[in-house]
Amino acid sequence: MPRIYVLREDALKELENRVLIGEGITRYLQPGPFEFAPGQLLEFPHEPAHDAPSLTMGDSRRERASTDFENALKIYEWLGPLTETEARDPRLWAWLAHAPFADYTRSRWPIPTDAKKTRESIRDHWFVYHEGRASLRRHSIARLWWAVHLTRTPWENDDALSPLRNEDPYTYTRLLLGNQEVFFHTLEREFGSNRRILIAMLEVIYRLRSRRKPTPLVKWLAKEVNLACRYRELDLLPIGELIEFMESLAALEVENSGGI
Amino acid sequence: MARSLRSISFPHPVVGVGDDVAGTLNCNAPELDFGVDNTTLSIDGLEVTDPTIAVLIQQREAAFTIRVTCGATYYRETFHTHDAQLQHVLPSAKLVGEVKLQVRVCTMRRIDDYRPAGLHPDYEGRSFTVQAGDVLAVGDDFTVHAVKQFDPLATDIPSIMRIVRGSHLKGPFKVNFFLDQIVIALSHEDHARYGLACHIAPGVIHASIVLPVLCEAIWLVQRGAKEDDMLAEAQWFRRLKDMLETRGIDESGSSLDAAQKLLDAPLTRAFADTLKGREED
């Protein structure tokens, strides 16, 4: 029976400290999963139906990023829905990055040669190292699970989003992971934690996809929406009005960039 | 609970920001009561001193809003009320670590010719158009750390157990000890009656469900967690151990005795609930 484990608290601390002081870095450069003694692990209560999925890896940076959506679905299907508290557990994500998905993590986030950057890269992509949302967004596996969790069939969690219901449960996951800038600019900012605002922004990017490239549009929208959230509770708007508001901001981006 | 104030620029005059509009938005510090499954957010004493805004709230054209943000779990939601207090229940799983609460008054619809009573004289003769959701008054920001701490003195058995509807239609209840709380899964048939039974005869629930499960849980604590399983770090395990120690209950004694002490004579209460009304006859 396949099992999922979490690292024990002391094993996690030891692993983090070794990276911090620059010890054991070479192990991160070698292929294969890290090996842990049984005493360093605890069994996670959820039992997966099958062994850990094999994740797709690409050679170039673009190819690697283009596999995110496909890999995210595999990870979510394997781990299943977790509570937010469970999905916040750094012990879980550390084990996943170091054991079943060590080769994937190395391939997706190649470790830089510069010593300082090496430590930062390992800390960012192999550990969930602090409480903020950025650490989940950067972790090699957590980011994939959370991307699906935040965007899969959002109309099932919030009746206000029912006008956006469609046959593809992953419409917004595809948009979120389809472009690294969209992923970064939405989930890096606080408004990305509000499901309604996040989905509305992705919907606007989707509606304008044939006329506007996602990268400059999401940069503009994220900046403007972030500003608007300071003087306005966008959460109070019906979804139609919220989308209209964001479309009006998008129109300003067109003007600002000299487009039509 | 830490309070903080932020300096923000607004496109229209706002109470609580500089001297654009005289007045304040006041409230008592919000409280978050962390339960096993749900957390209750309570805030009272909501009051805005500007009479124009107070009337807008009375007329439901504006509302007090509380924005709750937890960065650790990608959670942000805004609740609103037209009254001086607000209570809202949200899933505890959404709150981990630092939780920010921001108190504001916002409009519920577009208002043309908005001109608050306390507007600074520099704005003489001017009025403003505000959109739905625009902030009219800024109150304090609060920060709470969501550590779902357990008070062993409270001997709060519900904090270590929860009763849910299982996947089986009929038959005996099942227990999972390998989560942070002990999860008792009732059959669909039993769960349908559980809600009412819990209300009219809670002692019966304690005697028939909680007591046997607690006995087994205490036995597991007495046995000691094996090094290779989740029990050692399960929250309920440590909490129950604390409860037994705090109450001075001998861990090596009978688990049945210990469970009855922790539940405060469940059989006596079950009899009292069952015979309520009949003995008086």
> What value of ipTM does the predicted structure carry?
0.91
- Min mean pLDDT across A141-150, A237-246, B231-240 is at B231-240
Tell me the CA distances in angstroms from B132 to A102, B148, B184, one per residue in order: 49, 36, 46
Report how far residue B13's alpha carbon sits from residue B130's, in angstroms, rounded to the nearest whole number. Answer: 10
Report how far residue A26's alpha carbon sits from residue B34's, in angstroms, rounded to the nearest whole number. Answer: 44
The whole-angstrom distance between B132's CA and the closest CA on chain A is 7
Report how far residue A143's alpha carbon sits from residue A184's, in angstroms, rounded to the nearest whole number. Answer: 11
Residues A122, A6 within the same domain: yes
Residues A240, A258 within the same domain: yes
DSSP class of A89:
-
Residues A256, A193 within the same domain: yes
Domain span including residue A43:
1-151
Residues A45, A63 within the same domain: yes
A258 in contact with B at a CB cutoff of 8 Å?
no
From A151, A169, A202, give the residue that closes a domain: A151
Report how far residue B110's alpha carbon sits from residue B106's, in angstroms, rounded to the nearest whole number. Answer: 11
**Domain total in chain A:** 2
What residues in B contact A83, CB-CB < 8 Å?
91, 93
Residues A145, A163 within the same domain: no
The chain A residue lying nearest B100, using CA atoms, is: A190
pLDDT score at A231:
93
The chain B residue lying nearest A238, using CA atoms, is: B132
Residues A28, A121 within the same domain: yes
Residues A40, A95 within the same domain: yes
pLDDT score at B7:
60
Backbone angles phi, psi at B100, to 5 degrees: -100, 140
A97 residue type, one letter: A
A63 in contact with B at a CB cutoff of 8 Å?
no
**What is chain B written as a DSSP string?**
-EEE------SS--BTSTTSB---EE-PPPEEEE-SSEEEEEE---EE--HHHHHHHHTTSEEEEEEEEEGGGTEEEEEEESSS-EEEEEEGGG--EEEEEEEEEEESS-EEEE--TTB-GGGTT--EEE-TTBEEEEEEEEEEEE-----GGG--GGGTEEEEE-S-SSS--EEE-SSSSEEEEE-HHHHHHHHHHHHH-HHHHIIIIIHHHHHHHHHHHHH---TTSGGGG-HHHHHHHHHHHHTT--TTS-HHHHHHHHTTSHHHHHHHHHTTTTTT-
Which band of pLDDT confidence, cut at 50, 70 and 90, is reported for residue A139? very high
What residues in B contact A193, CB-CB < 8 Å?
69-71, 74-76
pLDDT digits (tens, 9 = 90+) for A154-163: 999 899 999 9
Contact predicate B13/B120, CB 8 Å: yes
pLDDT score at A8:
84
Closest CA to B101 of B7, B19, B27: B27
Residues A166, A146 within the same domain: no
Encoded tokens for B227:
């090094």
Mean pLDDT of A60-69: 85
Residues A134, A33 within the same domain: yes
Q: What is the mean pLDDT of chain A?
A: 91
Contact predicate B38/B90, CB 8 Å: yes
pLDDT score at B281:
47
Residues A165, A112 within the same domain: no
How crowded is residue A1: how many other Cβ atoms within 10 Å of its Cβ?
Answer: 5
Is the pLDDT at B57 greater than 90? The verdict is yes
Tell me the CA distances in angstroms from A122 to A27, A55, A136, A258, B82, one per residue in order: 11, 19, 14, 41, 49
The whole-angstrom distance between A185's CA and the closest CA on chain B is 14
From A126, A151, A176, give the residue that closes a domain: A151
Which band of pLDDT confidence, cut at 50, 70 and 90, is reported for residue A193? very high
Mutate to test the interface with B, among A224, A225, A233, A249 (most CBs of B within 10 A): A233
pLDDT score at B2:
52
Residues A164, A147 within the same domain: no
Report how far residue B147's alpha carbon sits from residue B134's, in angstroms, rounded to the nearest whole number. Answer: 33
